[in-house]
Amino acid sequence: MSGKLYIVPTPIGNLKDITLRALEVLEGADVILAEDTRVSGKLLKHFGIDTPVSAFHQHNEHKRLESVMDMLEAGKRVAVITDAGTPGISDPGFLVVREALRRGIPVEVLPGPTALIPALVASGLPSERFVFEGFLPVKKGRQTRLTRLEDETRTMIFYEAPHRLVKTLHALADHLGPDRPAAVVRELTKKFEEIRRGTLSELAAHYESRPPKGEIVIVVGGKPKK
């Protein structure tokens, strides 16, 4: 009899954003697969959860996939978490979900924290239709992706690393126009949360003089309809 795979979102900053159901699943699991066992260890210790933890990240998920399936097919309850947010959204998780479903193993995905929705709403840009692009390619395929977005009329959401923020804002301005409205949402739910709105060129100029830190979401307005 097969076990069950649980996809469990974890707080993106403020630990109070954990759900009661998430705590219940983590406590009741036979094993927790964590992106970084050190990061997850702090979270689990804070809530007094002593479930065994095993590393499962982008560098080993292909190698570990078969052993994870063996645990599930042996009847184990396996919970997957990442350092922050929902597994599978720009984080490990997709492969194990796909393989579990292919083998007929039950998968339960819990709702919970993710950075893209709060950033979208806080940006003040249209939110009834949007497209999530995750991280843009660093090199190969970057220009192609940006060119394809030039005629996108929906609000666009990107994740970005702080050391690449200014370069990305300039690239977006080059392809979408320097006056395109946007917002940079930084360190959501944390002590130094920042939401800065303006045009792409204004935001690029601001962060050129004030190098950012922390987790960053960029929200950009779509191409105006004629």
* Residue 74: CATH number of its domain: 3.40.1010.10
The DSSP 8-state label assigned to residue 194 in this structure reads: E
The alpha carbon dihedral of 52, 109, 134, 100 has a sign of positive
Say if residue 188 is in the same domain as residue 131.
Answer: yes
pLDDT at 139: 87
How far is it, in rounded angstroms, from Cα 77 to Cα 197?
Answer: 44
- Counted domains in the chain: 2
Residue 210: phi and psi, rounded to 5, are -135, 80
For residue 38, is pLDDT > 90?
yes
pLDDT at 10: 97
pLDDT at 1: 62
Q: Which domain holds residue 38?
A: 4-109
pLDDT tens figures, 130-161? 999 999 999 889 999 999 999 999 999 999 99
Say if residue 101 is in the same domain as residue 189.
Answer: no
pLDDT at 59: 85
How far is it, in rounded angstroms, from Cα 88 to Cα 102?
Answer: 16
pLDDT tens figures, 191-216? 999 999 999 999 999 999 999 999 99
**How many beta carbons lie within 10 A of that of residue 209, not counting itself?**
7
The alpha carbon dihedral of 159, 150, 164, 207 has a sign of negative
Task: Look up the pTM and report it.
Answer: 0.93
Instruction: Assign 175 to helix, strand or coil.
Output: helix
